[in-house]
Every structure is written in structure tokens, then in C-alpha cells.
Amino acid sequence: MAKSNNAIAGAVERTLAEVTASIENNIFAEEMTHKPGMLQGLDPRAKILMFLALLLAISLSRSLPVLLGLYIFSLLLAWLSQVPLGFFIKRVWLFMPFFTGIIAIPALFSFITPGNPLLVLWSNPLLVITDRGVMTAAFLLLRVGASVSMGILLVLTTPWNALLKALSVLRVPKVFILTLGMTYRYIYLLLHTANDMFLARKSRIVGRMDSAGERRWIAASMGGLLSRSFDLSNDVYLAMLSRGYRGEARVAHTFAFTTRDWLWTAVALAVAVVAIYLGR
């Protein structure tokens, strides 16, 4: 029973650590939007146009070297914007293989992608990795990695309110912007709430609890978090309405294109056009 209690305490501590790390990563990302980097100094509308062009080039390219070049270009932009490369690479590649790999791994084998055999895992002819399968999986991983890198770089170098306002200026529907803004806020609001619940639980672990009691506590915590989320959503929305919110993000500064914005937009468009041409 003592081992079970220690395991429960260890699970609670690990959950607290993971939730706190998520919150700290978000705070660190918000701090990076105010660094004196290259992308931080550009108009948000220019950055959206730049990354849309680069994402279009990534999606249309059919060449591995071109995709690799676009990914290296994203690393160059991150370095010029004072984004730590280790943090940036880990943020992209830490969780992406778990989702993309589910699709990429079956494509390696001959029963999905026929081709010349490179590696025989078993005598069964279906469990043979082919050259075309490796190329297909590499295309998928690199295309997704480059696309996610561009999206994360945009978020890391642009304050969230400014990004939402730039989307409204570019005629993105207000319903989409409202949903995106509320989702962003509630993710971290619920993280803080869950962190408080686990911290309160940890401070009250003074005795032993059987597995049935632990399951009851987990179920009660899930129900309590769901109830709080509904209450918070109503309270926050009413508070926003009372302060003049009408579905449009507002920021203190106004947008203005400068020579620097036009220059970097032209550079990104040129890179995208060359990548589309070479990657045909």
C-alpha cells in the first residue's frame, strides 16, 4: 500500500511539473515576441503574407532538396529573430513524429509503397522497406516539419493581439478570429486551473488512499474542471462585453508598412517563387 501511495504522489508531482512547464513555455514565448529581432520588428500583416507565400511553396514543392532548403530558411529566420534554435527545433520535432509518424511509418513498407527493397524486416514479403517508401515518408515528415516551423515562428515573433488584428485587416471572418482568440485564452486558463487543483491535491496527501478512492478523485476533478470551464467562459465573455468587446481584437499601436516590411516581403515572395519553380 505504501508503494501505491508513493506512486500516486509521484504521478501528481509529474502532472504538476508538466502543467507548470507548459505555462512557463507560454510565458517564454510571449517574451520572445518583444525581443529586438528581425521578424519582431516587421508589420504583422507583412509577416502573414510572407509565411503564407512560404507555406504555399512548401505545399507545392515536389523536391526533397527544395523542402530541406525551405526548412533551413526557417531556421535562418529564427536565428535572425533571436529565437533559441534548440528551443525552436524541440518545439517542432518533439511531438510531431507521434502524429505524422502514424501516417509515415506504414508508407515505408512494400504493401503500401511498392519499390526496390532496402531492408527486409521479416521473411514475409509485406514487411519490406522500399526505396520509394523511404522517399515518401521523408517527403511527408519534411513537408510537415517545414510547415509547422513556419507557423510556430510566426506565433513566436508576433504578439497574439497583433496577430488577431492583422487577420481582421486581411478580411478574415470575425467568427474565425473570435474562435481562435477564445481558444488561445482558454487553453492556458484551464492549464492554470488544473495546476491549482493538482497543487491543492498534493498539499492534502497525508495518508494512504486505495485505488478506488483515487479513481473517485480523478473523476471528481474532471467534472469539477468541466464545470469551472463553463462558468469561466460565461464570466469572461460577459466581462469582455462590458469592456466594449464587439468581436474585433484591438491593440494600442497602429499598423504601418515601412521600407523594411516591403523588402522582407519581397524576399519571402522571391524565395517562394524560386522554390515553386525548382520543386516542380
Tell me the C-alpha distance between 198 and 65, whole Å: 47
Q: What is the pLDDT of residue 55?
A: 92
The four Cα atoms 110, 113, 115, 120 give a dihedral, to 10 degrees, of -30
Q: What is the pLDDT of residue 56?
A: 92
Give how far Cα 72 sits from Cα of 66, 104, 107, 173, Å.
10, 22, 25, 33
Q: Identify the residue whose cell numbers are 468581436.
A: 247
Question: pLDDT in tens for each of the 280 residues of the chain?
Answer: 445 555 555 565 566 666 666 665 665 667 777 788 888 888 888 888 899 999 999 988 888 888 889 999 999 998 988 888 888 888 788 766 667 767 777 766 666 666 666 666 665 556 677 767 777 777 888 888 888 889 888 888 888 878 887 887 777 777 777 777 777 777 777 777 777 777 777 777 666 666 777 677 777 777 777 787 778 777 877 887 887 777 665 666 677 788 888 998 899 999 999 998 887 7
Tell me the C-alpha distance between 48 and 53, whole Å: 9
Of 167, 162, 172, the closest CA to residue 250 belongs to 162
Q: What is the pLDDT of residue 195?
A: 74
Q: What is the pLDDT of residue 157?
A: 87
Q: What is the pLDDT of residue 269?
A: 92
Radius of gyration of the chain (CA): 24
Tell me the C-alpha distance between 123 and 118, whole Å: 14
End-to-end CA gap in the chain: 64
Cell numbers linked to 220: 471528481
Tell me the C-alpha distance between 37 and 167, whole Å: 22
